Amino acid sequence: MKYRINGGNKLNGEIRIGGAKNSVLPILAATLLNKGTSVLHDCPKLKDVFSMIEILKHLGCAVEFSGSDIIVDSSGVIDYHIPDKLMRTMRSSIFLMGALVSRNNIAQISFPGGCDIGHRPIDLHLKSLRKLGINIKESFGYIHCKCTKIKGCEIHLDIPSVGATENIMLAVSMADGTTIIGNAAKEPEIEDLQNFLNSMGAQITGAGTNTIIIKGVKELHDTEYTIIPDRIVAGTYLIASAITKGDVVLTNVVKKHIESLISKMSESGFKIVTGNDFIRIEPCVRPRAVDMIITLPYPGFPTDLQAQMVSLLSTADGTSIVTETIFDNRFKYTEELVRMGADIKVDGRIAVIKGVENLTGTSVVARDLRGGAALVLAGLGAIGTTIVEDIEHIDRGYDKFDENLKNLGADIERIM
C-alpha cells in the first residue's frame, strides 16, 4: 500500500487525539492478570493493537473491540505458549513474558519482532525476570520461563528501558513481597500502566519517577479504564501543521507529555497556545533551525518524534544538529528525505540538517513507523506529488492517519 500526497495544502481545523499505542499494548498484556474482565476506553485501531488482541485470543481470552472500547475477558486463559508467527508481528509482545509467568508460572515465547530501527536486545528483560526467581532458558529461538512463585526484590536497571520496566511491573504485581525498580523509565505510559494495575487492586507507587515500588497483592479484580492520549501522535500532528504553515488545534492532549517538543518548536519560531485540554499551533513564515536536539528518555526529547522533527527542520532557515541517543539505526529515512531535496548528512548517531527552501515530491519508501510518518509530513509540505510506499509500517502507529489529515485539508490518498 502507498500514500499519494499532493503537497502544499495548509492544514487547518481541530483534531482529537486518541489513546496511546505505547500505553494500550502493555495494558492489554496486563489484562491477563485479573482472571476476569477489563474494559478499556479510547483504544486506537492500530495494526499492533490487533496483533496483541490476536495473541490474547490465542491464549484463551475472549476479546471484543467495539467502537474505541476493548473488552477482555481473561477468565478462560488456557495456553502459555505464543507461537513465533504471532510474536514476530511486533516488539511489544515481549510484555507478555512478565504477564504470562505471573498468571501461569510458566511461559514460552519466541524472540519478538518489530520496527527495524537498530539493535534491540532484551537482555534487561531477561536479567530482571531471572532476578525475580524465574528460571529462563533460551533454546531453538524460544524463551522458556518457569517458576514456583515470583519473589519481589530490588532491581536496578542498567538503562531506564521502557519495556523492561513494564515487564517487571507486570511480573511482580502479584508477587510475594515488595519489588523496587531503580533507574526505572519515567515515560507517561509507565504511569498509565501503574494506574491501570492499581485500578485492578495492585499496590504500585512511584511511576513517573525513577523509583517504582510494587507491593505484591494476592489477586486483582475487574476494572474499567481510559487510556491516556498518544503524545507521539499529538506531536506528529503538531509538526504536520507546522510543516504546512497550517493552524491546527489538538484536543484531548496532555501538554506536559510533549513539553520537550513544544520547547523546540518555540525555539524554531512557532507560537504554541495551550489550554487545559487543547494545544494550538500558529503558522510561522519559515521555521528557524535549532542548534541541537538530543533524543533522551522522558522527559527529554522523544526518539519517536525525532524523524518528524527532522522533516520540519529540512526546510528551516539555517543548520540544525540532531543526535539520536536511544537507538543506533534511526536515521534511515533521511536517505529518502534527501531524495526529496533535503540536505542532510548523517554520521552514526548525528544528523546535520542544512535547511533548504523547499522539498520536492518524488517516490519514497517508509522503512519504519516514525520514519514513515516523517516522510508523509515531508510530502505534505513539499512542492508536487510524493508517493510514500510500504505504509503498512505507518499503520502500526497511526489510526486513520490519511482520513484525519484529509479532514484537516490535506490532499492525501491511500492507493494500491
Q: Which residues are catalytic?
A: 115
Least distance between ligand UD1 and beta carbon 336 (Å)? 20
Site membership for ligand UD1, residue 164 (CB under 6 A) = yes
Neighbours of 78 (CB within 10 A): 8
Least distance between ligand UD1 and beta carbon 396 (Å)? 10
Site string for ligand UD1, 309-348 (x = CB under 6 A): -----------------xx---------------------
Q: Which three cell numbers stand for residue 108?
A: 514460552
Identify the residue among 31, 104, 303, 386 touching ligand UD1 (CB under 6 A).
303
Site membership for ligand UD1, residue 159 (CB under 6 A) = yes
HSE (CB half, 13 Å, CA atoms) of 403? Answer: 5
Instruction: Specify the stretch interacting with ligand UD1 by CB under 6 A; choose among 130-138, 156-164, 210-218, 235-243.
Output: 156-164
Identify the residue among 2, 47, 91, 367 touching ligand UD1 (CB under 6 A).
91
Closer to ligand UD1 by CB, 22 or 315: give it. 22
Q: Which of positions 110-129 make contact with ligand UD1 (CB under 6 A)?
A: 120-125
Least distance between ligand UD1 and beta carbon 72 (Å)? 18
Least distance between ligand UD1 and beta carbon 360 (Å)? 30
- Give CA–CA dist 414/400, Å, rounded: 11
Q: Which of positions 172-191 make contact with ligand UD1 (CB under 6 A)?
A: 185, 189
Least distance between ligand UD1 and beta carbon 324 (Å)? 10
Amino acid code (one letter) for 226: T
Least distance between ligand UD1 and beta carbon 270 (Å)? 24
Closer to ligand UD1 by CB, 62 or 350: give it. 350
Least distance between ligand UD1 and beta carbon 342 (Å)? 23
Closer to ligand UD1 by CB, 124 or 227: give it. 124
Site membership for ligand UD1, residue 49 (CB under 6 A) = no
HSE (CB half, 13 Å, CA atoms) of 301? Answer: 19
- Give CA–CA dist 279/270, Å, rounded: 12
Site membership for ligand UD1, residue 27 (CB under 6 A) = no
Closer to ligand UD1 by CB, 185 or 253: give it. 185
187, 162 contact by CB (below 8 A): yes
- The radius of gyration computed from the CA coordinates of the chain, to the nearest angstrom, equals 21
Site membership for ligand UD1, residue 371 (CB under 6 A) = no
The residues near 280 (Cβ < 8 Å, ≥ 6 apart) are: 247, 248, 249, 250, 272, 273, 274
The residues near 345 (Cβ < 8 Å, ≥ 6 apart) are: 351, 352
Binding footprint of ligand UD1, residue count (CB under 6 A): 21
Q: Which of positions 377-406 make contact with ligand UD1 (CB under 6 A)?
A: none
324, 307 contact by CB (below 8 A): no
CB closest to ligand UD1, residue no: 163
Q: Which of 377, 375, 352 is nearest to 290 (CA)?
A: 352
28, 93 contact by CB (below 8 A): no
Is the bond preceding 299 in cis, omega lying within 30 degrees of 0?
A: yes
Buried b (16+ CB within 10 A) or exposed e, 362-381: eebbbbbbbbbbbbbbbbbb
φ and ψ of 77, to 5 deg = -65, 125
Query: What SS3 state is found at 198?
Result: helix
Q: Which three cell numbers stand for residue 340?
A: 526529496
Closer to ligand UD1 by CB, 122 or 253: give it. 122
Residues that bind ligand UD1 (CB under 6 A): 22, 25, 91-92, 120-125, 159, 161-164, 185, 189, 303-304, 326-327
